[in-house]
Structure 1
Amino acid sequence: MEQPLPPDGVHDYRDRYAGLPVVEFSGLGDDAELPDPGAVVWRFSTESYGEEQGAWAAIFTRFLERVDTTAVRAVVVGCWENPYEESAETVIRLLADNAARFPELRALFLGAIVSEECEISWIVQADVTPLLEAFPLLERLEVRGGAQLRLRAVRHEGLRMLRFESGGLPAEVVRAVGQCDLPNLEHLDLWLGVEEYGGQATVDDLEPILTGERLPRVTHLGLQDSEIEDEIATAVGSAPVVARLQTLSLSMGVLTDRGAEALLTGQPLTHLRRLDLHHHFLTETMMKRMEEALPGVDVDLGEQESPEDDWRFVAVDE
């Protein structure tokens, strides 16, 4: 079982990830007894402040020397040195250049960094496409941080889950996701964020995702943490992809009665197992209507914010 997410949705994955216990390799001494390399998730991280350049690379190199990487199934990348200034490019290059040494790698989280280490919108990412190109059997890719994040349109037949956690997801990345051919993708989450931190994607940018043409097997869609959540909900109301979904998340954003009304008057949602709307600005009346209209659906209406408040905010931004 996965750990439940904390209230802000941001987890550091120091204990479990992808159903496996996590081992922080940087905390193991040279004489430490190593676990079965395929029975754990290997986490690599440095301190976020004050580390010399090359610190993360040194940890990873030591790992390559000590562990039978041919059995490794999952990797979590925490902090690299000064992630608010130095991009993830070196981390991505080291992983991609050594892909042949990880034939069993199926799950990868890049940027498992919490706010005490570096705010989500300060994390400097890079082009993550080389990870998809280097690991054709990868089933799960998750990335946190939107600054300098890039993605090119690719075809990847192995991927089952793709998640971008961000306080501001670049529109170029959103468009690239829609242009990718992901014939076996089942789970897609996009934390769209706010314009102040680079989240400038529009509903038009989401259109290729909402048609579902390149996502024939997707059963979960999350379009979350957006200041235009009402507009997204309106588009979802008539989106072809919704008919094949089992779970839908429009959570963490600025969803009001206007967006909820669009969901209720759009295409039927009674086939869903779960509709996640937590962190919202719905009135009590609308919340009751949502529950009554979807009696067989697990509707998450937790974390109600005041619908009368003039200041409406997403759950995760800076």
Structure 2
Amino acid sequence: MTIHAHLDTFHGLPVRWVGLDPATSSAAPDTVAWRVAGAPYDEDEPTLQQGFEELLGRVDPTRIRALVIGWWGPGWEGMRGDIPVRMLADAAGRLPALEAIFLGDIVMEESEISWIEQDDITPLLDAYPRLRRLEVRGGTGLHLRPVTHAALEVLRFETGGLPASVVRAVGESSLPALRHLELWLGTTNYSGDSRPADWAGVLDGSGLPALRHLGLQDSEIQDEVCAAVAAAPIVARLESLNLSMGVLTDTGAEALLSGQPLTHLTSLDLSHHYLSGPMIERLRAALPGVQLDLSDIQQVRGNDWRYVAVSE
């Protein structure tokens, strides 16, 4: 799976590109998600920072609810994710209504997902105590410190490899309003080095009392993820569970079937999997009232190779 298209909606709002069409500035500031980005291959085009200042000069920044941050520059030239993080954190006083940030709306033609150079994103949560949604694409160099944040409702990480330190920080945070958590765990080749002990804080759920959707996805050890989930305290209060995109085999599915009941779930996503036909039928028979996604059946390739959906 590769990401070829930029976002066209975010936070329930249509995305509008700053600078692409001057007419977009006529939109009411709180009715769209504003996208700012540098030009990946044209040094004569405005930088991310210039585009951001253009936005704040065109529309009333006190009414902006959602921002989508695109390309900020190549990591091999030192253009790391601290650039947009510092830019946004420094502007917090000018953006009192900001509710949602997507950091890294970068497609394959600009950078592979695991080549996106991120940094410490904690300053965003510190600077915006009213933020309700934070979504991040790219895991290289990504850092997060444990935080207390009363307003955050959605937290998503799209990566080909999510560092274990970030997973632990989420589990050690206090996020009383968080309803949706999605972690693309990825592979060790791209810093996805988390293991069951690192997921324990999330699966215990003590800092996530409102959580109703959990995604632990895209793991090369998806069977171990399933075994941990099968006994996790947080599962009993979830409405939906996403264990898709990884190297899921009959071993992981057996762990789910042998663990705590999952019949209370509205949906269970196991798509992109390596399950056998008999195991697929067992899952369907065991979870008749659950919306079960078993699509995207994978085939084992030469030398018994299995792949996650998103890595490089």
- For the criterion TM > 0.5, the same-fold answer is yes
Contact 1:249 1:276 in 2 (8 A): yes
Gaps spanning 5+ residues in structure 1: where? 1-7
The equivalent of 2:309 in structure 1 is 315
**1:1-318 mapped onto 2 (5 Å cutoff):** 8=1, 10=3, 12-29=5-22, 33-51=25-43, 55-83=47-75, 85=77, 86-306=79-299, 310-318=304-312
- CA–CA distance in structure 2, aligned partners of residues 192 and 51 of structure 1: 34
Residues 113/68 of structure 1: CA separation in 2 closer, same or farther (3 Å cut)? same
Amino acid at match of 1:41: A
Residues 14 and 259 of structure 1: CA distance in aligned 2, closer, same or farther (over 3 Å): closer
Per-residue deviation, 1:14: 3.6
C-alpha separation in 2, matches of 1:53 and 1:92: 21
Q: CA deviation at 1:88?
A: 1.5
Shift of 1:308: 7.4
Q: Kindly tell me: are residues 84 and 251 of structure 1, through their superposed partners in 2, closer, same or farther at Cα, counting changes over 3 Å?
A: farther
Q: 3-state SS of the aligned residue for 1:280?
A: coil
Give the structure-2-normalised TM-score: 0.95
Gap regions ≥5 residues in structure 2: none
Deviation at 1:240, TM superposition (A): 0.2
Q: 1:94 to 1:185 in 2, by over 3 A?
A: same
1:266–1:14 distance in 2 versus 1, CA, 3 Å? closer
1:51 Cα deviation after fit: 3.2
Summarize the Cα distance change of 1:220–1:84 in structure 2 as closer, same or farther, 3 Å threshold: farther
Q: After superposing the two structures, state which structure 1 stretch, 177-186 or 79-88, moved more.
A: 79-88
3-state SS, counterpart of residue 190 of structure 1: strand
Could you tell me how far 1:26 is from its partner in structure 2? 2.6
RMSD, aligned α-carbons: 1.7
Identity %: 52
Native 8 Å contact 2:17 2:24 kept in 1:
no
Structure 1 runs of 4+ with >6 Å offset: none
Tell me the matched-pair count. Answer: 310
